[in-house]
Amino acid sequence: MEAMKISKRFFAFGILACIAIYVAYMKWHLDSKPLVGLSVFYGIMFDAGSTGTRIHIFKFTQQPKETPKLTHETFKALKPGLSAYADDVEKSGQGIKELLEVAKKEVPMELWKFTPLVLKATAGLRLLPGEKAQKLLDKVKEIFQASPFFVRDNCVSIMNGTDEGSLDDPQKRSVGMLDLGGGSTQITFLPHTEATLQTSPAGHTTSFQMFNSTYKLYSYSYLGLGLMSARLAILGGVEGKPCKFRSALHCCGGKRVVCTLPTGLEVPEWYVHSRHHS
The Cα–Cα gap between 91 and 83 comes to 11
**pLDDT tens for each residue of 187-225:** 888 887 888 888 888 888 888 766 567 778 888 888 888
Q: Where are the beta strands (DSSP E) in 181-244?
A: 184-189, 205-210, 213-223
pLDDT tens digits, 66-119:
878 889 999 999 999 998 999 999 999 999 999 999 999 999 999 999 999 999
The Cβ of residue 156 has, within 10 Å, a number of other Cβ atoms equal to 24
Residues 6+ apart with CB under 8 A from 278: 252, 253
Q: What are the backbone angles phi and psi of residue 205, rounded to the nearest 5°? A: -130, 155
Q: Measured between alpha carbons, how far is 199 from 180 in angstroms, rounded to an integer?
A: 25
- Strand, coil or helix: what is 173? coil
Ligand-binding annotation for 184, yes or no, is yes
Q: Where are the domains of the chain?
A: 2-163, 166-223, 244-276
| 164 belongs to the catalytic site | yes
Q: CA 154, CA 144: separation in Å to the nearest integer? A: 11
Topology classification of domain 2-163: Nucleotidyltransferase; domain 5 (3.30.420)
Residue 134 annotated as lining a ligand binding site: no
Q: How far apart are CA 218 and CA 207, in angstroms?
A: 9
Mean pLDDT on 48-57 = 91
- The catalytic residue among 2, 164, 239, 269 is 164
- Which residue, among 164, 145, 190, has the nearest Cα to 48 in the 3D structure? 164
| 185 annotated ligand binder | yes
Q: Is the pTM of this model over 0.75?
A: no
176 marked as binding residue: no
